[in-house]
Amino acid sequence: MLKYFKCPDGIIRPIADCLAKCPRPEGRCLSLPTLTSIGSPRIWHGKPSTTQLLNPTRLEYLQITHDFSADPREFAFALLGTRHHQRLEAVAKKIEGMEAELVLKGEVSGILDLLEPINGSDQYRLIDYKTYGSYAVAKLLNDTQAGEYDRHKLALQLNNYRLMAQGLGFNVSELKAQCTVRDGGTFTAKRNGIVQNIYLIAVDILDDEDVTSYFSSKAIELLRALDKNILPPLCPYEERWGGRRCKGYCSVFMHCPEGAKVNKQEYKGG
């Protein structure tokens, strides 16, 4: 669980201390509401979510079983995404027939951003809101091998929401990802072939059994590791982003023997 903040002075401090009173002479690095929002604990309630199971099992296991730290300034885009969702949810709830921020419950949980009736029929279009950098959007748009992993993960997520929504009686026939481009309009975005600031991208409907099998096996793997307190196998190469995730994007690398080695840090045990 996220329990510590990495402060600008390089010191790691408990989030509770940071929120109570900043010990730095120059004061807080961000506003108190911002730090409070970022530092709110994500409590494990014993049931995995769809997004958790899309992540490597070892990563999720370590984040559940160990306290870790993060630089609050690295959550800037996550805050933007949350605000984006909230504004669209508020509008959707004023439109008749729309289902927004629908909480999905089952063996695996999830929150569905939007179910939109298609032309007044009994069929629905499932839309998930994303806030991505232009490179990530380019990989989703271009039907090349480079984006195959990203497209498949996105399809798994939306198809799992589809199956849960259908279990509630919604006839879902279309899946879309509405991607807002974080760096839209910049030279970098244009270089990546992204000329719009927002895209509505079609997502493939996968075989029901394949989707169910994926999430069921991932849930069993995570719950078994937690029950037996056994470190899961090393994250698959693709889920490690070829090693880049271990090096600069893993918050619990010090509790992973391979992660600690890659970062040349002391292994603190998993």
Note the pLDDT tens digit of each residue in 118-176: 998 899 999 999 999 999 999 999 877 778 999 999 999 999 999 999 999 999 999 99
Token look-up 């937690």 returns 226
pLDDT value of position 39? 84
Query: Which stretch, 75-84, 204-213, 232-241, has highest mean pLDDT?
Result: 204-213
Residue 1's pLDDT band (boundaries 50, 70, 90)?
confident
* Percent of the chain topping pLDDT 90: 59
Local structure of residue 263 (DSSP, 8 states): T
Q: Does residue 64 surpass a pLDDT of 80?
A: yes
Question: pLDDT averaged over the chain?
Answer: 90
Q: Which amino acid is at 170?
A: F
176: phi then psi, degrees, rounded to nearest 5 = -140, 150
pLDDT value of position 197? 96
Selection from 54, 82, 87 nearest residue 214 by Cα: 54
Which parts of 43-75 fold into alpha helices (H)? 50-54, 57-65
pLDDT value of position 248? 82
Residue predicted with more confidence, 93 or 50 = 50
Residue predicted with more confidence, 100 or 163 = 163
pLDDT value of position 90? 75
- Cβ neighbours of residue 201 closer than 8 Å, sequence gap 6 or more: 140, 141, 176, 177, 178, 179
Tell me what the mean pLDDT of segment 59-70 comes to. 92
pLDDT value of position 4? 87
Which parts of the chain fold into alpha helices (H)? 15-20, 32-39, 50-54, 57-65, 76-92, 134-141, 148-167, 187-191, 208-228, 244-248, 257-262
pLDDT value of position 206? 98
pLDDT value of position 266? 87
pLDDT value of position 59? 96
pLDDT value of position 107? 87
Q: Exposed e or buried b for every residue in 2-25, given b needs 16+ CB within 10 A? A: bebbbbeeeeebebeebeeebeee
Q: How far apart are CA 61 and CA 119, in angstroms?
A: 43
Sign of the Cα pseudo-torsion (63, 65, 71, 76, in order): positive
Q: How far apart are CA 170 and CA 115, in angstroms?
A: 9
Q: How far apart are CA 215 and CA 48, in angstroms?
A: 10
Among 36-50, 123-137, 180-194, 211-225, the minimum mean pLDDT is found in 36-50
Q: pLDDT tens across 8-32, in order?
A: 888 888 999 888 988 888 888 888 8
Q: How far apart are CA 179 and CA 139, in angstroms?
A: 12
| Domains defined along the chain, listed by start | 1-43 (no CATH), 76-216 (3.40.1350)
pLDDT value of position 175? 98
- Cβ neighbours of residue 110 closer than 8 Å, sequence gap 6 or more: 49, 50, 51, 103, 104, 160, 161, 164
Q: Does residue 76 surpass a pLDDT of 80?
A: no
Angle at the Cα of 59 from the Cα atoms of 43 and 15, rounded to 5 degrees: 45
Using alpha carbons, list the distances in angstroms from residue 66 to 42, 71, 239, 268: 12, 17, 20, 10
pLDDT value of position 50? 96
Q: pLDDT tens across 220-263, in order?
A: 999 999 999 999 999 999 999 888 999 888 999 999 999 999 99
Q: How far apart are CA 217 and CA 260, in angstroms?
A: 27
